[in-house]
A = this chain, B = another copy of it.
Amino acid sequence: MTEGKHDLEIVRQVAAPPAKVWRAWSDPDILKLWWCPRPWTTEVRAHDLRTGGAFHTFMSGPDGGTSDNPGIFLEVVPLQRIVWTSMLVEGWRPADPWLPMTGIFLIEPEGQGTRYTARCLHRSDADRAKHEEMGFFDGWGTMIEQMEEVAKGLD
């Protein structure tokens, strides 16, 4: 699903309650278990969950490839909403990201589970198209499936 000309969006029913989805996001030791499609792995280099706090993930693939993604959190509403951007780094400093984006993640109760929205905002339609061609829907879809599996397994 695409919302707005420059945006990409996935909405999924997740079979875990909002409190567990929130834990999967707010604990970096849990987040790293699902943050990128396996067999790639995630190192969480910063996870300061507040407006302006650093959020930095570094991913590594079995072929030696890496993906470095510094950024900051912009909005944090416990159990409900997280906004992150690659456009700025800690201390509000402008960044020069390989993928200019803002991610908006919404957690809403739905039945026994969660309605989870992952929305990615871009500068332009060209950036949106490039991200879609890079495999946004497969990649982010897999992340959400991994998140669901991890969240369901939490106590």
Chain A interface (Cβ within 8 Å of chain B)?
Answer: 6, 51-52, 74-75, 83, 85-88, 91-96, 100-102, 104, 121-124, 127
Contact = CB atoms under 8 A, between A and B. Distances in A.
Given A88-B88, A88-B102, A93 B52 contact: no
B123 A93 contact: yes
Contact of A87 (B75, B94, B104): B94
Contacts of A74: 52, 88, 92
* Shortest 8 CB-CB contacts between residues of A and residues of B: A87-B87, A94-B100, A94-B123, A92-B102, A96-B123, A93-B121, A87-B94, A74-B92
Contacts of A85: 88, 92, 94
